[in-house]
């Protein structure tokens, strides 16, 4: 809906606040209105910060259908396509309709506890870990086949866009974003004569059902890290992962180049 309302959501650091004011002014010069509080019917969301801010902007507003673009004032900034030097060109190009919108499906996880079922969504990843320093044991089922019990610090389930985040640190592969896939990556898996665990990640097509079952005696000690935010659920029985029908709309000014981002920010 073209209502000239744009939400700008900045993180709390000083530089981001300065950029917020500059961007607000520039957009107002192009007849846009920037509400003081988040408006659920705005035509665009702009996140100012790094990846953490971008992910929080989505999560804390329930993954809105409003298109989103980021302006990077953070450390890494994988998602934010804009930088502060783009403020004036962005206002011109956006007001002239020179952009595209890409649909990105979310990772969905249904968590079955003894009493309730919870649903969480992620753009990057969902990790299951122990909440203590002890080894955690997780049974992995793929398409109803028991693959293995993975013992270690936990498991990361990631999307292609999230593959360069936690997954990459844990030795997983970068997955090109146009591949519709889920990656399962063990975190510090044990490999000894007592335990045999996957020592690499597995990349799966989206239609396969992935279920992770914490071993019974560890049931009280499981935590979920959803795009880096911690969730604790009581007595988790199992968790079911799949590519969701729900998606976000990522606005692009045409300057997002996956390989350029990877080269400049990772290699
Ligand atoms: P954070 O702990 O500040 O993030 C860790 C780093 O990951 C930051 O430099 C962040 O960029 C970067 N990042 C986030 N998403 C990325 C992506 N898709 N590709 C490449 N780098 C990415 O937490 P956060 O900023 O809230 O981000 C949440 C993410 O942190 C989680 O989804 C998880 O993937 C990741 N994480 C990584 C580790 C690890 O590598 N050992 C541990 C826990 C969580 P910015 O500097 O721009 O924020
Ligand atoms: Mn961060």
Which atom in ligand 1 lies closest to the alpha carbon of residue 227? 32
Q: How confident is the model at residue 1 (pLDDT cuts 50, 70, 90)?
A: low
For residue 158, the ligand 1 atom closest to its alpha carbon is: 34
Q: What was the pLDDT predicted at 133?
A: 86
Q: Write the residue with the smallest CA distance to atom 2 of ligand 1.
A: 228
Range of the domain at 202: 107-246
CATH value at residue 123: 2.60.200.30
Q: Of 48, 78, 98, which residue is a domain's last?
A: 98
List pLDDT tens digits, range 200-248.
999 999 999 899 999 977 667 799 999 999 999 988 999 999 999 999 9
Task: List, as ranges, residues with CB under 5 A of the ion ligand 2.
Answer: 50, 52
Mean pLDDT on 249-255: 95
| In-domain check, residue 263 | no
Sheet holding 229-232, edge to edge: 202-204, 182-187, 154-158, 125-130, 222-226, 229-232
Please indicate whether residue 230, judged by its CB atom, sits closer than 6 Å to ligand 1: no
Instruction: Say what the pLDDT of residue 218 is.
Output: 67
Q: For the purposes of burial, counting CB atoms within 10 Å of the CB of 205, is it exposed (0-12), middle (13-18) or buried (19 or more)?
A: exposed
In short, whether 81's Cβ falls inside 6 Å of ligand 1 is no
**pLDDT beyond 90 at 131:** no
Provide the whole-model pTM: 0.96
- The pLDDT assigned to 74 comes to 84
In tens, the pLDDT along 143-192 reads 999 999 999 999 999 999 999 999 999 999 999 999 999 999 999 999 99
51 is catalytic: yes
- pLDDT tens for each residue of 110-119: 999 988 999 9
Burial label for 163, CB within 10 Å (0-12, 13-18, 19+), is buried
Average pLDDT of the residues of the chain = 95
Answer yes or no: is 264 within a domain.
no
How many domains, in total, are found in the chain?
2
Closest ligand to the CA of 166: 1
Q: How far is the CA of 144 from the centre of ligand 1 (A)?
A: 31
Identify the active-site residue in 51, 125, 153, 227: 51
Statement to judge: residues 233 and 121 lie in one domain: yes
pLDDT band at 20 (very low <50, low <70, confident <90, very high): very high
**Residues 166 and 234 reside in one and the same domain:** yes
| Residue 13 domain-assigned (yes or no) | yes
Query: Angle of helix 87-95 relative to helix 14-29, nearest 10 degrees?
Result: 40
- Assess whether 115 and 212 both reside in one domain: yes
Q: What is the pLDDT of residues 79-106, one digit of tens each?
A: 999 999 999 999 999 999 999 999 999 9
- Does 259 reside within a domain? no
Task: Show which of 98, 131, 163 is a domain's final residue.
Answer: 98
The bound ligand whose nearest atom lies closest to the alpha carbon of 229 is: 1
258 in any annotated domain: no
């Amino acid at each position: 809906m073209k209502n000239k309302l744009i939400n700008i959501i900045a993180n709390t650091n000083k530089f981001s606040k300065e950029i917020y004011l500059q961007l607000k002014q520039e957009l107002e010069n192009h007849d846009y209105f920037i509400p003081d509080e988040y408006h659920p019917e705005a035509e665009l969301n702009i996140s100012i910060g790094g990846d953490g801010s971008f992910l929080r902007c989505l999560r804390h507003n329930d993954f809105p259908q409003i298109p989103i673009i980021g302006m990077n004032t953070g450390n890494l900034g994988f998602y934010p396509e804009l930088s502060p030097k783009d403020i004036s060109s962005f206002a011109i190009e956006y007001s002239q309709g020179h952009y595209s919108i890409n649909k990105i499906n979310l990772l969905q996880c249904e968590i079955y506890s003894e009493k309730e079922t919870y649903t969480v969504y992620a753009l990057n990843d969902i990790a299951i870990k122990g909440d203590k320093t002890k080894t955690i044991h997780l049974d992995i089922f793929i398409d109803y086949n028991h693959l293995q019990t993975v013992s270690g610090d936990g498991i990361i389930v990631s999307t292609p866009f999230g593959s360069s985040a936690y997954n990459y640190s844990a030795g997983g592969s970068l997955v090109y974003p146009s591949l519709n896939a889920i990656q399962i990556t063990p975190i510090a898996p044990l490999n000894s004569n007592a335990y045999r665990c996957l020592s690499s990640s597995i990349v799966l097509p989206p239609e396969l059902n992935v279920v992770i079952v914490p071993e019974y005696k560890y049931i009280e000690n499981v935590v979920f890290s959803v795009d880096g935010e911690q969730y604790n659920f009581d007595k988790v029985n199992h968790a079911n992962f799949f590519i969701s029908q729900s998606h976000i709309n990522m606005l692009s000014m045409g300057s997002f180049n996956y390989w350029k981002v990877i080269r400049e920010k990772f290699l």
